[in-house]
């Protein structure tokens, strides 16, 4: 009789035991698969529901970028006192409208060969510096010319003058000033989310790095390595003269930038005039940065 009761009890309890085992199996059979890329060592964990997530690699204390370019506009603030004797000796007859620029054609191009960002405080506050070339082209509205040999040309003793030759028209006249530049800035970077998984397969995991958002401000020092006056007119054609034209050999500027992910906005404002004497023209630039 006891044997019969045991058999009946076993038959009744068997489904409950199987259900419990199934539930236990559901809790313990889910596994995590960890895939590590060969270079960046970013780890991707793929759970039982097939949804990957990325554990970003440890942030570097020094980040190096090898190339970026700025495209913008160049201009200057004219604080010249045109009635001053020194100004009239440097540019005889000059008035406030002489040096008006064609704003849309006065351009600034910066080519940065090397940029580095060094962590200072939790990768939020950083020291950032770059090395590159600053190229400025100032296109004049009026037929302004710069004399590379004012001491030897008795007919035109001044450095800057207005060409008023009857019947002569100008297609272009500009001053180009190029500098080897080193900006040093404090950078503030806003925290970003982990890297985004682009593709997951059996052999590889492709991860797209998040872009930087933040801003920087500091100062730059530039050395004038090339200056030239280029013009094209109706009877003389195209000419280009190289000289320093009494430009300051050093350009110290306040600089700043805002990083907006894929693009950036930059600006600079010099601390003093671009000329050593005669004219008080303080240059500035503004534009867009590509390749952060």
Top pLDDT among 193 and 144 is at: 144
- Specify whether the CB–CB gap between 61 and 119 falls below 8 A: yes
Query: Three-state DSSP class for 250?
Result: strand
Q: What is the mean pLDDT of the chain?
A: 81
The CA-atom distances, in angstroms, between 281 and each of 7, 80, 93, 228 are 106, 7, 17, 17
- Specify whether the CB–CB gap between 188 and 213 falls below 8 A: no
- Specify whether the CB–CB gap between 286 and 266 falls below 8 A: yes
State pLDDT tens for residues 12-35. Answer: 554 554 454 444 444 443 444 445
State pLDDT tens for residues 30-55. Answer: 444 445 444 545 555 555 555 555 45
State pLDDT tens for residues 241-283. Answer: 999 999 999 999 999 999 987 789 999 999 999 999 999 999 9
Top pLDDT among 77 and 27 is at: 77
The separation between the first and the last C-alpha atoms of the chain, rounded to the nearest angstrom, is 86
**What Rg, from alpha-carbon coordinates, does the chain have?**
34
CA pair distance 218, 76, nearest whole angstrom: 20
CA pair distance 148, 158, nearest whole angstrom: 10
State pLDDT tens for residues 134-177. Answer: 999 999 999 999 987 765 555 566 899 999 999 999 999 999 99
Quote the pLDDT of residue 11.
Answer: 47
H helix count then E strand count, the chain: 2, 17
CA pair distance 92, 82, nearest whole angstrom: 9
**Which tokens in the block code for residue 171?**
């297609």
> If you search the block for the tokens 């970013």, which residue do you land on?
42
CA pair distance 176, 137, nearest whole angstrom: 4
State pLDDT tens for residues 95-124. Answer: 999 999 999 999 999 999 999 999 999 989
Element (H, E) at 279: none
Quote the pLDDT of residue 249.
Answer: 97
Quote the pLDDT of residue 173.
Answer: 96
């Amino acid at each position: 009789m006891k044997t019969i009761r045991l058999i009946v009890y076993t038959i009744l309890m068997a489904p409950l035991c199987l259900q419990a085992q199934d539930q236990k199996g559901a809790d313990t059979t889910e596994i995590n698969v960890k895939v590590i890329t060969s270079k960046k060592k970013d780890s991707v964990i793929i759970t039982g529901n097939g949804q990957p997530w990325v554990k970003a690699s440890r942030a570097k204390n020094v980040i190096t970028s090898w190339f970026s370019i700025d495209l913008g506009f160049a201009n200057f603030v004219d604080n010249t006192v045109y009635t001053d004797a020194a100004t009239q000796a440097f540019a005889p007859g000059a008035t406030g409208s002489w040096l008006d620029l064609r704003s849309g054609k006065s351009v600034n191009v910066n080519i940065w060969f090397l940029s580095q960002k060094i962590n200072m405080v939790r990768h939020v506050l950083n020291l950032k510096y770059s090395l590159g070339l600053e190229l400025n082209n100032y296109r004049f509205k009026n037929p302004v010319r710069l004399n590379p040999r004012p001491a030897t040309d008795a007919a035109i003793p001044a450095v800057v003058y207005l060409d008023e030759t009857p019947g002569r028209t100008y297609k272009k006249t500009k001053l180009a000033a190029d500098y080897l530049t080193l900006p040093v800035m404090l950078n503030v970077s806003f925290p970003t989310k982990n890297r985004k998984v682009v593709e997951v397969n059996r052999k590889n995991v492709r991860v797209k790095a998040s872009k930087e958002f933040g801003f920087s401000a500091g100062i730059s020092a530039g050395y004038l390595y090339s200056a030239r006056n280029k013009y094209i007119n109706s009877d003389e054609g195209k000419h280009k003269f190289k000289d320093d034209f009494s430009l300051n050999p050093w350009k110290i500027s306040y600089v700043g930038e805002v990083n907006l992910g894929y693009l950036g906005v930059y600006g600079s404002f010099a601390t003093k005039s671009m000329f050593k004497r005669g004219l008080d023209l303080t240059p500035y630039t503004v534009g867009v940065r590509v390749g952060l």
